[in-house]
Amino acid sequence: MGISAARLLPEFNLLFLFCCCRRTEKEGKMPVATLLPFTATPNRKSASPTSFRLTEKFILLLVFSAFITLCFGAIFFLPDSSKLLSGVFFHSSAVETNTRTGPDSSDSGSAGSEDRILAKIRKDHEKALLEAKDTLQKRTDEIQDDILKDKEKVIKEAMGQGGNDINNLPFVEYRRPPGATGHEPLDPETRERRAKVKEMMKHAWDGYRRYAWGSNELRPVSKQGHSSNLFGSIKGATIVDALDTLYIMEMFEEFDAATDWVEKNLDFNVNSRVSVFEVNIRFVGGLLSAYYLSGKEVFRRKAVELGEKLLPAFKTPTGIPWALLNLKSGIGRKLALGAGCSSILAEYGTLHLEFIHLSRLSGNPEFGQKVMNIRKVLNRLDKPQGLYPNYLNPNSGQWGQHHVSVGGLGDSFYEYLLKAWLMSDKTDEEGKKMYYDALQAIETNLMRKSSGGLTYIAEWKGGLLEHKMGHLTCFAGGMIALGADGAPADKTGHQMEQAAEIARTCHESYARTALKLGPEAFRFDGGVEAIATRQNEKYFILRPEVIETYMYMWRFTHDPKYREWGWEAVQALERHCKLEGGYSGVRDVYASTPNHDDVQQSFYLAETLKYLYLLFSDDDHLAFDHWVFNTEAHPLPVIRRDKTEAKPNQVE
């Protein structure tokens, strides 16, 4: 209504004074004209006593109405009116205590009450000003944290009222696929070698548990924890990465300890930036695999929780995710690598397997939609010579510099195209076509043979070949063997030959070093073959890719040389990398004495030892008909299509 107390006061005074003057005039004390000359009118008629009383009553009613309006205006329109109401009408002791200004204030009457009210209003006003000043002086990140806390509180309250509570996921019929654990090999030598690999796993795990429990990784020389900025403030990378290896090796006591840590200590509510790719393949992949092997609900819940925290990475104009993401704020960043700080092919292209399973386990189709959109973006782009450059700008959706590699920056993109088709029970025709088209372009443009007859996959830079092959590229032998069965009939044998040749080349990179461990990269120029010529390429950090190819080649050919090559690697690891505290990488594989880098990588337990164990296991242990491995060697089950599609959440 907008009537202010200040505007009512003159009218109230005027009416009150007029009423008093009329009363004195009637009593013969003072004429009205003397007191209120501005209200007297010369032509005014004399009023009868009766009409005079009615007028008086009317005026008194007006006065009373004005007074009531004034009171309610003061109560409801002045600042902090609820407290004022309490103090004026109910004599709240708290208000009286806070508004007293002196020892005589309780005896000061209405004037004192007004002073107390004004003092209280002034105090509250000053407090509000101070709070506003404090807010303005806060740093931007502090204000953002406050906003996020309020947002999280609202979300939690909404969940409590029936929202999508992460602890109340939809029912999924759990069936453990065949081959989660295997039988002892019948051959005594193979059984002994398999037991040796399990012993290596126990040594690596015990060192981590003793010296670095809860940290991301172990420093076996200094016997302490090690953290990489890849994981931000998330802890326990080795625990999550090792879960499935512990399970398939039937180290159930260790598996239970790891499970207990995950349930009680694994926390993703961290205000730090992480690598979307690394967190996905290690944490999401590790949790999903542990769930499918054991059926423990805690792993499904944690995997979906982390998956939901990764979704904001896709908030780009193209839907190509950022490389880095703050898990708390949901703010993404690009890596300061490549042309225009673009997203990397191997990173945004290595989410498909995990995100499809996240959709199945959570009932949320958004995970699958995000990774399928990546394919749509890629299919719209022209590929130079049919190749996929390593860099793509997530804002413009355009390629960065035309650098192509099947090793670092590109490797697992191709792997996931093939495995997406296999994981879909061979129904993902788009993934299949993209894989075989890409493989044809790689064979044409990148595969070469050295003068000594070694097949290698070079790197392509704007049409120029760099005759270098990375240790990471050695996974390609296993990938090509895995996909050979799905190739056209006239290509199957050819691709198996290619896979075998790549396996031999990668074995040579090991055999030609002093420590019998492979370098990070090796070259085929300047008169050398399969040898690292630069100091920054001579290190070995316990990588699994060469052994991964041995395992695949053994499964498809049963050629005993692959087990022999794997056993050579075991002996080299024991001789040069094993320490009292665990296993360490080395800085120069050509040196006669190892110089340890003092890091036991989490992927050593997740991949290297797992692939070695499977190399000496029977083929029905994690059989390829039922399982696919993500790029961190975490086994995920093939998603069987129900004939009637009546149970879309069934995973077998």
> Which residues are annotated as catalytic?
520
Q: How many CA atoms lie within 13 A of 499 on its CB side?
A: 28
Contact yes or no for 494/480 (Cβ under 8 A):
no
CA pair distance 649, 364, nearest whole angstrom: 11
Query: In b/e form, how buried is each residue of 365-403, taking b as 16+ CB within 10 angstroms?
Result: eebbebbbebbeebeeeeebeebbbbbbbbeebebbebb
Lookup result for tokens 């073959």: 529
CA angle, 497 then 447 then 439, to 5°:
75
d(CA 170, CA 164): 10
Euclidean distance between CA atoms 626 and 541, whole angstroms: 31
For residue 184, the cross-strand partners are none
CA count, 13 A, side-chain hemisphere, 67? 9
Whole-angstrom Cα distance, residue 616 to residue 495?
24
User: What is 266-281 written as a DSSP string?
Assistant: -----SSEEEHHHIII
> How far apart, in whole angstroms, are the C-alpha atoms of residue 295 and residue 293?
6
Torsion over CA: 88, 90, 94, 100 (sign): positive
Strands (E) across 559-600 are located at 578-579, 582-583
